[in-house]
Amino acid sequence: MNKAGQTEQPTAPETPLLPDAPGSDPKRWLALTVLLVATFMDLLDSNIITVAIPSIQRDLGASAVAVQAMTAGYTLSFAVLLITGGRLGDIFGRKRMFLTGVAGFVVASALCAAAQNTEMLVASRALQGLAAAVMVPQVLALIHVTFAPQEIGRVVSLYASMIGLAVVSGPVVGGALVEWSPLDLGWRSIFVVNLPIGVAALAGAWKWMRESNSPHAQRLDIVGMLLATVGLLLLMLPLTLGRELGWPVWSIVALVAALPVIALFVVHQRHKTRTDGSPLVSLSLFKVRAFGAGIGVQLLFSAIPAGFFLSWTLYLQGGLGWSALHTGLTAIPFSVCVPLVGGLAVRKLSPLYGRYCLVAGALSMLAGIATYAWAADRLGPDITSWHAVPSMILLGSGMGLLMPPLTTLVLREVTPQEAGAASGIINATGQLGAALGVAVIGGIFFSALAGNAGPQADRVLPAHRAVARQAAEVKGCATDALGQDDLAKVPPSCTALTAKSGPGNLEAIGSALGEIRTKTFVATYSETLYWAAGCLVPVAGLLFLLPHHRVRRQETA
């Protein structure tokens, strides 16, 4: 298979195209629209439920454990089955599995909207994740086998921009739907909105998408599927729930147990390759430098945006009291820059400068995170959305310079018959990296939040003379409230403080606690961002392991 961007390679293949190799499908751009809409629907749904949780708790009486299960159920069922979903497309047809996944997603969304209790909602969310795991891997696979090499970069930049748009618009769309409550549906509207979108995607895919699968007969690797599922579950479950549960013993045991299971999976895949040539994952993919190194970079890189946006949302909404809509609108510069810069990167910059384009992206994101940390620390609670614009532009531009060219590079030398499996690995790596980022950067944030509460109380309380006699109790309340995993809970120390305070003193106490909370969040956020920026340094270093594909200037003109 010819390598795109290699000037010494002939412009036409010397051997006939494989049955599912890219061809001049006249409907491919219409099919791409369907794929992007499905991608947006999946990512939106994974983020949209966050702002609806209070309404769900009031309506269904959901406990804290049930709330965790609603979010973790989707993430876990999605992440652990992505590799299997990709291989199913290679074997049974990518269009067929895409249609199956979208149909399942629509049905699961309807069940979520109709849920009468938390058990039904949790089960329906898990079913949504399962359907998404069948649907999502087909997206990159179909892109890879449908578009010509010279078109892949532009298409992947659109794919990356859709990811960025969905991530930041989830809270905005969710907040608007819950607040406006169309047809008096309340929180159920966040799931009902998937129904017309999913039906339209089904119709479009049926009409415009052509079928493709691996040209070589393959068998379903049941043992490999089970080992991959168990191994990823042992990794993802503690990373998803460990911090919120206080890292119980079972979470550490699961992380340790994941290693031998993954090792056994690798041994089985080698055996399967030798015996019948039908492994779940072709390990030869990782011998390709662009794929192996690119997957490693993606694992670490995916952790940064996930951790950043988690701490950013907590800081703005939990610390500064911004609404979900205000928070989402602040990210508009980021959402705009990802597709604009991404398109430029894959068409011009990456072909001309190779991996230096990706390094520039990592450094731009580092600068964006560092400048946001500086602005948050300097301006404190007086920061506005306008102050965030330069940092968001740097962040969006950096992601545009890095993510689309990286995905293009990872897919560059993947053969069409491995497109589904490769897509599943890419998506699973992104999910694992995001979970790692949330666990590590989220852990840093909450640890720093607990540590900063006391010192900030010592700075704030001397100025609040009205609560001088209760300064120790106020400090204890603030420290307990900000030192717990669930920041919405009211600790006993705060309940006791309120109970023994007179009506005239409650306002003064509330004012002192509010100032302590705000300043603690500001200090914690700045500290966390400097750690996140530092994490981009090894990412930039790993980028030099990637092959340095470049073409002559006249070929990119």
- DSSP strand E in 267-398: where? none
Taken as a whole, the chain contains a residue count of 557
Q: Where are the alpha helices (DSSP H) in 62-188?
A: 64-80, 82-92, 94-113, 118-135, 137-146, 149-180
CB burial readout 408-422, b (16+ within 10 A) else e: bbbbbbbbbbbbbbb
Residue for token pair 């041994």: 267
Same fold, 23-220 and 288-557: yes
Q: Where are the alpha helices (DSSP H) in 182-315?
A: 189-192, 194-208, 222-241, 249-275, 289-313
> Tokens for 526?
């700045």
Summarised one tens digit per residue, pLDDT across range 182-228 is 888 888 998 998 999 999 999 999 999 988 876 665 778 889 899 99
H or E element, residue 512: helix 503-542
Tell me which residue of 347, 294, 311, 289 sits closest to 448, measured CA to CA.
311
User: Most distant CA pair in the chain: distance in Å?
Assistant: 87
Q: Write the DSSP assignment of 241-252 as a string of letters.
A: HTTTTT--HHHH
For the domain made up of 23-220, the CATH class stated in words is mainly alpha
SS3 state at 6? coil
pLDDT at 549: 63
C-alpha–C-alpha distance, residues 152 and 146, integer Å: 9
H or E element, residue 54: helix 53-60
Identify whether the C-beta of residue 84 lies closer than 8 Å to the C-beta of residue 226. Answer: no
Residues of the chain with pLDDT under 50: 1-22, 553-557
Pick the CATH number of 288-557 from 1.20.1250.20, 3.40.640.10, 2.60.120.560, 1.10.3720.10: 1.20.1250.20
Summarised one tens digit per residue, pLDDT across range 116-172 is 888 899 899 999 999 999 999 998 888 888 888 778 777 877 787 777 677 667 767
Identify whether the C-beta of residue 93 lies closer than 8 Å to the C-beta of residue 102. Answer: no
Tell me which residue of 240, 260, 265 sits closest to 251, measured CA to CA.
240
Tell me which residue of 189, 238, 230 sits closest to 45, measured CA to CA.
189
Domain limits, the chain? 23-220, 221-277, 288-557
